[in-house]
Each structure stands twice: as structure tokens, then as C-alpha cells.
Amino acid sequence: MTTQEAKEEKPLYLGHRERLRKRFLKDDGFSMDDYEILELLLTYAIPRRDVKPLAKQLLAAYQHDLGAVLHADPKMLAEKFKIGEMPVALFKLVNTCAARMASACFSDRKTIILSNLDSVVEFCRHKMAYLDVEEFRVFYLDQQYHYIGEELLSRGTINRTHVYSREFFRHAIDAKAMNVILCHNHPNGDCKPSEEDKVLTKNLCEELTAVDISIVDHLIVTRNDYFSFSLTGLIPNSKVQEQMKIEKRKKMLAK
């Protein structure tokens, strides 16, 4: 085969992939559409195929939500889109890296979590916002609001999860927690608390006070938003509100 013939037989998408990489490296993908970012990601898992149509198909199927594609059910990806193990592993790797970066505030036990609530929200969104069912997590803090640990307390249905207060108290006491942050997700995309959420939070606040444990905040996360019980006044005398005032004063003094 001559050199010219080899060039003619070279798949056209190979040059396109190189151009995609160069565009991405030029500005970290800022100028690229979501389908192009997904397409570039797929090139590392599917080496011998034009993956642009697949990238567009996936985004269209998941309401043009790149995060939803990356968190999609592997079984669904395999059955509906004929996607194998390599792309699924790559998607999971991206999600794991993002979650670990978001959890950096937990890695140093000297970090005061009250000053890093945005990171807690981001971590919870990575872990829970794309789930099809509700999950209820608790973050344990010591007296100075340092991170001790976390736990998945329950997993429920698409619109409900049950938390048993006696079991919750036992786990919190075993963890030697003095403060806790609660978090659950709403798969329907609406982060507003239900009446059941409000009653549960109120009851837990009252019952935990009896064992000298305080609820710092209760967060509800969705794909695009979150709700804070403390910031909206549904947890009275919250340390979160006090910390927000301190941070605001710091910013004002720094100007």
C-alpha cells in the first residue's frame, strides 16, 4: 500500500478528534458545547468509531443535562445505547474525581465545617442529586464543628425516605457527635421542603437537644439547587446564621 493510499484510508474522525483535543486544551473547553465535551470524553473509551452522533443522542435522551448522562444507569446505557464497560467506567471515574474534590473539606480534621458549607452542599449534590430515589445522610461534627464522619441513614422511594429517630440517636452518640448536618435529595427536582420534611426536622431538633446534640443544618439537594433549613430560619438559633454574619463582616472589613 502506498503512503497516499494509507492517507486516503485513514478514518476522517481521527483528525476531528485531534482538533477537539486542541480546542479543549486551548481554553479548557470553555468555547465547546456540551455535546463536544461529551464527544471528547467518549473518544478515550471508544477508539474506533465516530462518537459525535452518540454524544448528541445521549444528551437529547437526558434533557441536555451532561451531569445526568454521566450519572446514567449503566444497565440503561448498555441496553438502549449499546454502551460497553469502558465508557461506563470512564463516566464513573469522572464522577468519583468530582466527588473527591468536593469532599476536600472533610480530609483535614482541623477544618471548621461551618466555614465550608458550600463544599458540603456540592459534595451532597455529587453523591445524591442524580439518584432516582431519596437518600438521607448525616454528617457528624464535634463540639468545634470539625468533621468526624458521615453515614447513609436510609434509602427510600422516589419521593420518600424514612428516618427512625432512635436509630439515628444511637449512631450519633456512638460517633461522639455534638453537632450534625442532615441532608437528603429530592429526585423530582424541587428542593422545597415538604410538610413531612419540616415536621421531621422540628422533631429531631427537639429530641436531639435532650441528648445535647445540635442540628446545624438540614439540606435538601437537587440537580440544580438546594434548600437550607438554617438559612431560611426553619432551624432557630442556628450557628449557620451566626457564621454567615461573621463571614459577611470579614468581607466588609477586607474592602
In angstroms, the Cα distances linking 246 to 57, 61, 106, 216 are 48, 45, 22, 16
Q: What pLDDT digit, counting tens, does each position of 195-251 carry?
A: 999 999 998 888 888 888 889 999 999 999 999 998 888 987 666 666 655 655 565
What's the pTM?
A: 0.79
Q: What pLDDT digit, counting tens, does each position of 37-94 carry?
A: 999 999 999 988 899 999 999 999 999 999 999 999 999 999 999 999 999 999 999 9
d(CA 193, CA 144): 28
* Angle at CA of residue 66, ends 36 and 75, nearest 5°: 110
Write phi, then psi, for 112 (nearest 5 degrees).
-85, 115
